[in-house]
Chain A
């Protein structure tokens, strides 16, 4: 299984990153390679991302109707479920549609993390291990060792300045805020608010723990996500609106 993972996902990604680094100016080679690579990955995921954005938007639009159903079938959970599914079906919404891009990105994150760490080879063991993953190409071998420095970052080490953590957390907050609709239900609203704060904080914390090559991928990915959301969702969405129950009621 590990070998299959290496052959199908890890090695193509790792060699792609290394080869790309070899083609870029040495001063920024690996950082820029991660950014370009993220763009390519996000581009490849565009159809799923657009579906997710549309799905999220459609789900938000269904919220008032959902609320009515919840009121109507408050004592009959089974009926509520049936009616909810019916509502989704009629509106052509897949409730799991929001999750797919996230789930699809996990293997990419893991492979990218492994690729970054193996390529940067911060320890002699990593460097020795790297040799076993390289394709027999002059471009690939000629690009090793890659320059691990990019802007103020050492991509093989966590960023100690907090700048990247703030950027990752901030961009994630903006992206989430754009898609999180205010809910008329105070409890739901509370959950939304918690989610809105928790995820950016969590990833901000991870940024302080992981080698900064991976948070750089998260940051670029978030920025692309914001752009996609802006373009598909038609503007800044809920970022401009106040996400309070009163605002939700007003919007309704």
Chain B
């Protein structure tokens, strides 16, 4: 009897150990993307760092950081051990940094918005260098709710979406911050539903899509919620793309929808095999929509009809937006396969892994938005490796490990 009881305890402990193991997978990791400026590439890592890389120097495998290159760790205070001790831990960044006038704007899942000056970071000065236009919002110990989308900068205003749960309800809030000084310009009313999106600002109106199925339009100057809003059948999974008063957005019921501002029903809907997780790319009159079903659809933005005879089909789920490379698109699967796709007919070519033909191109998960600069496509894996790919030669130019001693 005694041994049975100890057996039960042992089994319970094994079970709990397994559960605890599962629990570690729940920690947010982040999937910040890449943005380029001249010869410099700004990359968000999967551990809360922002790196500035010189593409020419990386190609030569020069020691990092070379002059002009830098890395900055975004951290926040974390309390552990029943609140007894506090330590600085890496913040989580999901949105791709936004480049504006030599500055990078980054928002964290822990509820902070930072404006980094490339020059001050290169000098490794203490953050924030106010004279260089650096700031952090909120300035005190306050935090916003988690920020998942990228900030949007229009004119002298930075717009950020965040969410907070209070009294059993989750609310979304939009913040407008002065681009130069980091002062709060306005905070929107609480909006129904989680806001995990990048806001779209067009002609003085800010558009957002919420997790529980609302499209809202706010005055970009005052933050006032406009009278028109749209309520879908289910929640929205992607950030909105707006052009000519039409909002293109993906919903949890696997549909991509076009909703005219002022309308109560969608203009058209297109159903995929899974969610259109990545924000679709609007180029001319065609919407290029990567889907988690592994296909990229090219749809006429006016009526949602397919443009290609058959959609481009990749080897796995597509979780990142495509990058434009002239008349080609760079497409990356979640498993790390990279394709070059012809925009005219949707035919694509896979780029082989240089070391292992059976592996995917990058041989690791890719969720961060890729970038294209000066003839090279850049992809960052969740294992923190940057891949530089030549889309013309269909080959890997070089790789660079973002994790350094």
Which A residues have a C-beta under 8 Å from some C-beta of B?
Answer: 59, 95-96, 98-99, 102-103, 106, 109-110, 113-114, 117, 122-128, 131-132, 134, 136, 138, 141-142, 144-145, 149, 152, 154, 188, 191, 195, 198-199, 202, 206, 210, 214
- A95→B18 contact, CB < 8 A: no
Chain B residues, CB < 8 A from A95: 1, 4
Q: A138-B253, A145-B235 are in contact. Are A124 and B317 (CB under 8 A)?
A: no
- A102→B11 contact, CB < 8 A: yes
Interface residues of B in 143-171 (CB under 8 A from A): 148, 165, 168-169
**Distance between Cα atoms of A99 and B253 in the complex (Å):** 43
By CB atoms of chain B within 10 A, which of A103, A110, A125, A141 has the most? A125
Any A CB within 8 A of the CB of B374: no
Interface residues of B in 118-159 (CB under 8 A from A): 148
**Distance between Cα atoms of A128 and B319 in the complex (Å):** 8
Task: Select B235's contact among A144, A154, A206, beta carbons within 8 Å.
Answer: A144
Which B residues have a C-beta under 8 Å from some C-beta of A?
Answer: 1-2, 4-5, 7-9, 11-12, 14-16, 18-19, 22-23, 26-29, 31, 94, 148, 165, 168-169, 194, 196, 211-212, 233-235, 237, 252-254, 273-275, 277, 292, 317, 319, 334, 367
- Smallest distance from the beta carbon of A93 to chain B beta carbons, Å? 11
**Distance between Cα atoms of A127 and B367 in the complex (Å):** 12
- A110→B18 contact, CB < 8 A: yes
- B148→A124 contact, CB < 8 A: yes
- Smallest distance from the beta carbon of A201 to chain B beta carbons, Å? 12
**Distance between Cα atoms of A240 and B254 in the complex (Å):** 56
Q: A131-B275, A131-B277, A188-B2 are in contact. Are A149 and B169 (CB under 8 A)?
A: yes
Chain B residues, CB < 8 A from A149: 168-169
Chain A residues, CB < 8 A from B254: 141
**Distance between Cα atoms of A98 and B274 in the complex (Å):** 44
Chain A residues, CB < 8 A from B234: 141-142, 144
- A195→B5 contact, CB < 8 A: yes
- A142→B233 contact, CB < 8 A: yes
By CB atoms of chain A within 10 A, which of B26, B194, B254, B317 has the most? B26
**Distance between Cα atoms of A96 and B109 in the complex (Å):** 49
Q: A125-B28, A131-B277, A142-B253 are in contact. Are A110 and B292 (CB under 8 A)?
A: no
| Complex A-B, nearest 10 residue pairs according to Cβ-Cβ distance, in ascending order | A123-B28, A149-B168, A106-B15, A144-B252, A131-B292, A141-B253, A131-B275, A145-B235, A113-B19, A124-B148
- Smallest distance from the beta carbon of B24 to chain A beta carbons, Å? 11
Chain B residues, CB < 8 A from A127: 237
Chain B residues, CB < 8 A from A122: 26
Chain B residues, CB < 8 A from A142: 233-234, 252-253
Task: Select B19's contact among A103, A110, A136, A138, beta carbons within 8 Å.
Answer: A110
- A123→B26 contact, CB < 8 A: yes
Task: Select A202's contact among B12, B14, B26, B277, beta carbons within 8 Å.
Answer: B12
**Distance between Cα atoms of A202 and B11 in the complex (Å):** 13
- B2→A131 contact, CB < 8 A: no
> What total count of A-B pairs have CB within 8 Å?
97
- Smallest distance from the beta carbon of A97 to chain B beta carbons, Å? 9
- A103→B11 contact, CB < 8 A: yes
Chain A residues, CB < 8 A from B31: 124-125
- Smallest distance from the beta carbon of A243 to chain B beta carbons, Å? 15
- A-B CB contact pairs (8 Å), 9 listed: A99-B11, A102-B8, A113-B22, A114-B22, A124-B31, A141-B234, A152-B168, A154-B165, A195-B9
Chain B residues, CB < 8 A from A59: 1
**Distance between Cα atoms of A138 and B253 in the complex (Å):** 7
Chain B residues, CB < 8 A from A123: 26-29
Chain A residues, CB < 8 A from B165: 154
- Smallest distance from the beta carbon of A192 to chain B beta carbons, Å? 8
For the complex with contacts A113-B22, A199-B9, 7 further pairs of A-B residues with Cβ separation under 8 Å are A110-B19, A117-B23, A124-B31, A128-B292, A128-B319, A131-B277, A145-B194
Closest to A202 in B: B12
- Smallest distance from the beta carbon of A130 to chain B beta carbons, Å? 9
- Smallest distance from the beta carbon of A48 to chain B beta carbons, Å? 15
**Distance between Cα atoms of A122 and B319 in the complex (Å):** 18
Chain B residues, CB < 8 A from A152: 168
- Smallest distance from the beta carbon of A193 to chain B beta carbons, Å? 12
- B18→A98 contact, CB < 8 A: no
Closest to B18 in A: A110
**Distance between Cα atoms of A16 and B29 in the complex (Å):** 28
Chain A residues, CB < 8 A from B277: 128, 131
**Distance between Cα atoms of A96 and B211 in the complex (Å):** 49
**Distance between Cα atoms of A223 and B26 in the complex (Å):** 29
Task: Select B94's contact among A124, A138, A214, beta carbons within 8 Å.
Answer: A124
Chain A residues, CB < 8 A from B22: 110, 113-114, 117
- B15→A124 contact, CB < 8 A: no
Task: Select A132's contact among B2, B23, B148, B317, beta carbons within 8 Å.
Answer: B317
- Smallest distance from the beta carbon of A10 to chain B beta carbons, Å? 11
Chain B residues, CB < 8 A from A113: 19, 22
- A109→B252 contact, CB < 8 A: no
**Distance between Cα atoms of A142 and B292 in the complex (Å):** 16
By CB atoms of chain A within 10 A, which of B31, B194, B253 has the most? B253
**Distance between Cα atoms of A214 and B15 in the complex (Å):** 13
Chain A residues, CB < 8 A from B235: 144-145
By CB atoms of chain A within 10 A, which of B9, B16, B169, B317 has the most? B16
- B19→A125 contact, CB < 8 A: no
By CB atoms of chain A within 10 A, which of B1, B11, B16, B211 has the most? B1
**Distance between Cα atoms of A127 and B238 in the complex (Å):** 12
Chain A residues, CB < 8 A from B211: 145
**Distance between Cα atoms of A38 and B11 in the complex (Å):** 21
By CB atoms of chain A within 10 A, which of B19, B292, B319 has the most? B19
- A132→B19 contact, CB < 8 A: no
Closest to B235 in A: A145
Closest to A144 in B: B252
Chain B residues, CB < 8 A from A126: 26
